[in-house]
């Protein structure tokens, strides 16, 4: 069981005691990401994540920060998405105080030295180069660029090289002041802990956090009246594609049915698309379907890597499976298999303390409420065959279809002709 408390300054604390583990994870989630940026500072959320590790008064440089947890075999990192940023440390539970001190130190006492920022810009640009050289990953950003265009939801989380190069220290500090505030932060500790004493420790280490009203993000604008495509020319050994549709956001009551539908289509090795595209047609090594639900948008998409000559065949097979779910109800056995997979997968994914922290803190940050695994299972069990067919009819429409491709192609007209359902 978990416990959530909110301090008078707005800071939320979540504690999750776990039995059968010696580990403990400290996770700090901040309600900001690239959707909160302007064009001028696109990439600042991710860049700020980097510079938190460049030195504090107590730990004056990167070496001192890193070796603090390296000396005890701790695991630590940070991450940035479009709607949140996270910082975490996982250690032997006897080092909980050290982990809390370490995380709070970088977040509350970083120096943000000009020379360190300039050096880190080169690191981020190399990270960007690595990412752009990985089509299997980069296709995801092209997909969201296709869906959302020139607005924060369609920009790269990491930013553009020119923007990163121009970022000023004053912009960093201004962004920090507006977003890294008590009401916008959750401190979650999961693992081998005692709830009450852990709460007291969190209050101690985070007592100097800023009190200010956090800035909000602009609402995503979605406009689409016909099928869309986006091609990124690159001489690759295979074509990487994303083919899918606009769907439901995080608060939509049908998001659980969408999750079941996604599993039926391409969520595992016995799913429809894995069998039809990989096992029967032999067109792809990897193919899977996933769903994304954010606070104001959502989509369902199938990703695959295929030979350049087989793109048309793969697209047609994917669309065939999409269409079949509109025209015919799934049988009870297939429906139950998808439900059982989702529930079993969730149970397995929550074995570790870091997974527990992300599960509970993520819900609180984005949705403002927390469902336990048992409560989520109930939502999944309530999904019906009729709902699966209903949402298939709603989302698998021509005007919601989108296709993003990375490969040696320059003319998108042949691909757009395929987008019929």
Round to whole Å and give the CA distance between 65 and 318. 48
Q: What are the structure tokens assigned to 24, written together?
A: 């403990």
Q: Is 52 exposed, middle or buried (0-12, 13-18, 19+ CB in 10 A)?
A: buried
Other Cβ atoms less than 10 A from the Cβ of 224: the count is 15
Longest dimension (CA), the chain: 64
Q: Is 324 exposed, middle or buried (0-12, 13-18, 19+ CB in 10 A)?
A: middle
Closest CA to 266 of 242, 249, 237: 242
Q: What are the structure tokens assigned to 329, written together?
A: 């109800």
Q: 49 an active-site residue?
A: yes
Round to whole Å and give the CA distance between 101 and 205. 6
Catalytic residue (choose from 49, 116, 144, 387): 49
* Contact between 301 and 243 (Cβ < 8 Å): yes
Radius of gyration of the chain (CA): 23
Catalytic residues: 49
């Amino acid at each position: 069981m978990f416990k959530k408390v909110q301090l008078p300054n707005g800071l939320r604390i979540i504690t999750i005691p776990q039995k059968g583990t010696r580990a403990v994870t400290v996770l700090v989630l901040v309600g900001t990401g690239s959707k909160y940026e302007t064009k001028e500072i696109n990439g600042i959320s991710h860049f700020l994540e980097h510079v938190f590790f460049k030195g504090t008064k107590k730990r004056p440089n990167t070496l001192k920060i890193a070796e603090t947890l390296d000396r005890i075999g701790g695991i630590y990192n940070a991450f940035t998405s479009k709607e949140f940023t996270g910082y975490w440390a996982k250690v032997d539970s006897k080092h909980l105080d050290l982990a809390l001190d370490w995380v709070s130190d970088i977040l509350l006492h970083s120096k943000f030295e000009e020379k360190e920022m300039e050096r880190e810009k080169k690191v981020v640009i190399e990270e960007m180069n690595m990412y752009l050289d990985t089509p299997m990953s980069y296709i995801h950003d092209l997909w969201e660029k296709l869906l959302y265009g020139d607005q924060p939801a369609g920009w790269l989380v990491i930013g553009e090289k020119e923007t990163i190069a121009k970022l000023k220290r004053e912009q960093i500090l201004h962004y920090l002041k507006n977003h890294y505030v008590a009401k916008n932060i959750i401190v979650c500790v999961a693992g081998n802990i005692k709830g009450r004493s852990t709460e007291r420790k969190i209050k101690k280490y985070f007592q100097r956090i800023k009190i200010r009203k956090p800035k909000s993000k602009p609402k995503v604008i979605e406009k689409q009246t016909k099928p869309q495509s986006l091609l990124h020319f690159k001489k690759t050994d295979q074509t990487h594609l994303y083919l899918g549709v606009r769907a439901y956001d995080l608060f939509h009551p049908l998001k659980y049915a969408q999750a079941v539908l996604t599993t039926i289509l391409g969520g595992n090795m016995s799913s429809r698309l894995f069998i039809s595209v990989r096992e029967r047609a032999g067109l792809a090594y990897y193919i899977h379907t996933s769903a994304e639900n954010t606070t104001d948008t959502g989509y369902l998409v199938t990703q695959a890597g295929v030979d350049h000559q087989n793109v048309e065949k793969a697209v047609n097979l994917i669309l065939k499976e999409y269409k079949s779910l509109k025209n015919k109800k799934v049988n009870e056995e297939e429906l139950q298999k998808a439900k059982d997979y989702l529930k079993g997968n969730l149970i397995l994914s929550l074995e570790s303390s870091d997974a527990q922290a992300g599960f509970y803190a993520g819900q609180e940050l984005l949705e403002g409420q927390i469902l336990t695994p048992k409560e989520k299972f109930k939502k999944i069990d309530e999904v019906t065959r009729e709902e699966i067919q209903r949402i298939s009819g709603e989302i698998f429409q021509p005007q919601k279809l989108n296709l993003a491709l990375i490969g040696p192609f320059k003319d998108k007209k042949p691909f757009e002709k395929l987008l019929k359902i």
